[in-house]
Structure 1
């Protein structure tokens, strides 16, 4: 399956934002209770091509379909970064550009609880990574009509690295340890190389009253 071109990108973003608006109206009626929801955690690094492809090509299914009613999504950047014990600085596997993008994405994730809008921005950033246009990341805010100032304030003050240290330690404490990225975990159980099929594992782990259509389709297949 190919990475979407610009037209497909805009369509996907429209779907995500539209979902966000609908979700606000339907949340109390349709969403599973927090105790029933499946925890889906994605450990990744922002300049890794496999991670970017997973975020763009596979993870979008959370919003294209009705899986969001039964799962809680957590994105964890900085996954292959390391902390220098001498000066407490963070080094990233793919260099300074990756640390900068990790910082931006950390700011986004920690400034807002709106999962769909956070994902839309990160989707846009990772789309630019795939296209080799990372330096144009500021265009994502205007493309999505989302506020830029709070994220830039966080980023320019270096606050994106504060949660970065938390994310680095969280990844380091994974049991079993991650072997590659993206490292996808469903209810604390890693799904290994089959991460593209995360929907199957989410549906199996869900114990709520009614399976969404996405799970029924999985069962029929």
Structure 2
């Protein structure tokens, strides 16, 4: 229903440009090239970044991670807590990844420029991961290569081998075209807007939001033992995995201060 309403809205948004578009409304957000041809880039970006790739399970625990690709604490949380928990409990949790963190953006002649906490390579890594999410769309497809990159000694150089291992149908060339082009720039701007809109505002990363809420207690529980937290918060019939011991709690976790 929401998709139908969105397409109905898009029809009127781009009515003045429809003579330039040879694609039906149902295809307008299927690729960046079609979105540009139909002059609905901004609407499709908004739709993509706000769209909930969520389970039909209405009781699923919602987990949002605001992070940076080269932040040590972020990498540790994503690789050792979030990804393993998702592998075991993906039927009862939904994950939203927002790579941006403590970056700063400014508009320079209509194009967004970003300064990242750990330098240009982090901006590169953030954009790679944003592009993977956009191009692959399904978390079952994009989360494994993102985990692979974050778990590797060199995040950005791991793109090609991680794609080969988990999603060989997409090439590094295709991802880098997004990263280095207009699409990657706009995706990072959307992540900036989402991060800046956090309430309360983030003070460090990883910044974890559970069921739309962030506080010190939830953050601490998530970083210490996310698996146990998800099992505790899920109000439906708990999966068999929750009856086990779960993941070993981590020692005191590091963060990257804003």
TM-score range, shorter chain: 0.7 to 0.9
Aligned residue number for residue 202 of structure 1: 230
Report if aligned partners of 1:52, 1:127 keep a CA contact under 8 Å in 2: yes
2:242 is matched with: 215
TM-score by length of 1: 0.74
For the residues of structure 2 that align with 1:111 and 1:92, how far apart are their CA atoms? Answer: 23
2:132 corresponds to: 108
The residue that corresponds to 1:23 in the other structure is none
Give the alignment's Cα RMSD to 1 decimal: 2.5
- Structure 2, unmatched stretches of 5+, are 1-53, 247-258
State the 1:104 CA deviation.
0.7
Give the equivalent residue in structure 2 for 1:193.
220
Task: Give 1 or 2 for the bigger CA radius of gyration.
Answer: 2
Tell me the alpha carbon deviations over residues 27-74 of structure 1, each in whole angstroms, 9 at most, x when there is no partner. Answer: xxxx96342222111110001011111111111223431x10011111
- Deviation per CA, 1:4-24: give whole Å up to 9, x if none: xxxxxxxxxxxxxxxxxxxxx
- Report how far residue 123 of structure 1 moved: 1.1
User: TM (normalized to structure 2)?
Assistant: 0.65
Q: Specify the alignment match of 1:160 in structure 2.
A: 184
Q: Is the 8 A contact 2:81 2:227 kept in 1?
A: no
Distance 1:201 1:63, change over 3 A: closer
- 1:201 counterpart SS class: helix
Contact 1:106–1:163 (CA under 8 A) maintained in structure 2 = yes
127 and 32 in structure 1: CA distance in 2 versus 1, 3 angstrom threshold: closer
SS at match of 2:58: coil
Residue of structure 1 equivalent to 2:5: none
How many residues are treated as equivalent by the alignment?
186
- CA offsets 1:83-130 (integer angstroms, 9 cap, x no match): 1145532221111111111111010111222212211111111122xx
Q: Distance in 1 between matches of 2:117 and 2:181?
A: 23
Task: Tell me which residue corresponds to 1:79.
Answer: 101
Q: 1:183–1:195: 8 Å Cα contact kept in structure 2?
A: no
Distance in 1 (CA, whole Å) between partners of 2:165 and 2:189 is 30
1:141 corresponds to which of 163, 187, 197: 163
Compared with structure 1, are the counterparts of its residues 132 and 213 closer, same or farther at alpha carbon in structure 2 (3 Å cutoff)? same
8 Å CA contact 1:40–1:202 kept in 2: the answer is no
In 2 relative to 1, CA 193–34 (structure 1 residues): closer, same or farther, beyond 3 Å?
same
The residue number in structure 1 matching 2:56 is 33
Partner of 1:178: 202
**SS across alignment from 2:95:** strand
